[in-house]
A and B are shown apart, each in its own frame.
Chain A
């Protein structure tokens, strides 16, 4: 909340403050409004600044209340309003009061107020409808204020997310560059990873912004590798949602596993295939990747950057190191971790 917004609590915008030095006027006005279930209170001018903040909806004042001190206090309050706020003020005049002078003075000292003048005697019906209209105006102002706050917040959030995405892309590029020996390889790997990142973003956006299903991540990642309508990676598991961050990480990891399978593993030959399964058991999420039917598996001497990223990313996602084994039947990768860390709300 901005400095000036804390000046007016949103809840205070439903309340009416009555300023009337004569007790009979004050009692009449307060009773008239409270009979209509309007939250009303009365001030004798003491601590006016505080009272205005507490009952910031509409000010109802008789002209007798308008001493220089009161005019000044209200003026200060008006100056401190946030940009969206314009205090409605109902002023009760008499036939005998110097109305032209009062109007001129208030116009000069009370900027950003909406002045509504009545000349007494005024019917209860007319006065009430004026005050109720003013309260509605106030509600609308509050909506505008809420929208402005929300927009400021969204803009800040957007900036933050964009910075994070740019940092992620930098990371992806650096990781790809280290692992690529030719420009063509760099280009292909980088495009592939960026596509995986982009797919997750689309999926999250489609799902309304904060969560994405594991099923959808799997489908997006493995769909390009279907042959003749057949899945080369069979994915199975319960309906489960991941947070945006979790989904992004999983998508990049699955992309990594799939790309390695295509280059060196089960997907590099037509008879090879992969199963990818996920399950939840007692607050723990597990994933399992098993390749079968590929060329003979050779354990590399030093893990490539993709594999190192896999270890790091799955480790941070699950809160525990993944198991990556070069089994005789094919590469095996599994991870288990607390579901609380990862799963968003469905």
Chain B
């Protein structure tokens, strides 16, 4: 009986603080997944209309303002599910319909692992 290798998620990060971005990228790698790109704003994201990823980690506050929710919606329209990462729990909850979950900053490895495992366990809808 062969065991298939664990699934590798291609993860897009939307984060404008380079320190936090670096940390998140490292944690994603440590969990065996692939940080495909880190963008600092919704503006930067919109410049890549053909972007592909399995899911996205989205900070609510980006370089061009409080545009995380807009980015989440934009990604959802392109079939990329999102997870909010934020210090502002209230805004995450207010915009919950655009994402599959949220994490509160500062992110810890356990929290990220849990959210990504949950994501993997859910059947993906088109």
Question: Is the A/B pair a real complex?
Answer: yes
Option from A167, A174, A305, A309 in Cβ contact (under 8 Å) with B17: A167
Q: Which of B17, B87, B105, B107 contacts A245 (CB 8 A)?
A: B17
Q: Is there contact, CB below 8 Å, between B22 and A245?
A: no
List which A165-199 residues lie within 8 A (CB) of chain B. 166-168, 170-172, 174-175, 178
A317 at the interface (CB under 8 A from B): yes
Q: Is A164's CB within 8 Å of the partner chain B?
A: yes
Q: Does the CB pair A167–B20 fall under 8 Å?
A: yes
B19 contacts the other chain (CB 8 A):
yes
Interface residue ranges, B against A (CB under 8 Å) = 16-23, 25-26, 38, 40, 61, 63, 87-88, 105-107
A168 in contact with B20 (CB, 8 Å):
yes
A316 within 8 A of B: yes
Q: How far is the CA of A150 from the CA of B63 in the complex (A)?
A: 22
Instruction: Tell me if A's interface is mostly helix, strand, loop or mixed.
Output: helix
- B40 contacts A316, CB within 8 Å? yes
Which residues of chain B come closer than 8 Å to A317, judged between CB atoms?
A: 18
Partner of A174, one of B26, B87, B88: B26
User: Which among A163, A245, A308, A309 is the interface contact of B16 at CB below 8 angstroms?
Assistant: A245
- Whether A164 lies near B18 (C-beta < 8 A) is no
Docked pose: A305 CA to B107 CA in angstroms: 19
Number of contacting residues on A, CB 8 A? 24
Q: Can you spell out 17 A-B residue pairs with CB atoms less than 8 angstroms apart?
A: A163-B87, A166-B106, A167-B107, A168-B17, A168-B19, A168-B20, A170-B106, A171-B19, A172-B19, A174-B23, A178-B26, A245-B63, A249-B18, A313-B18, A313-B19, A313-B22, A317-B18
Residue of A nearest to B41 (CB): A341
| Extra 13 A-B pairs, beta carbons < 8 Å, given A171-B19, A245-B17 | A160-B61, A160-B88, A163-B88, A164-B87, A167-B87, A167-B107, A170-B106, A172-B19, A175-B23, A178-B26, A308-B26, A312-B21, A313-B22
- Asked if A164 meets B26 with Cβ closer than 8 Å, knowing A170-B106, A316-B38, A316-B40, the reply is no
* Residues of chain B with a CB closer than 8 A to A316's CB: 18, 21, 38, 40
CA distance A249 to B25 in the complex (A): 16
- What residues of chain B lie closer than 8 Å to A312, measured between beta carbons? 18, 21-22, 25, 38
Q: Given the complex of chains A and B, what is the CA–CA distance between A175 and B63 in angstroms?
A: 23
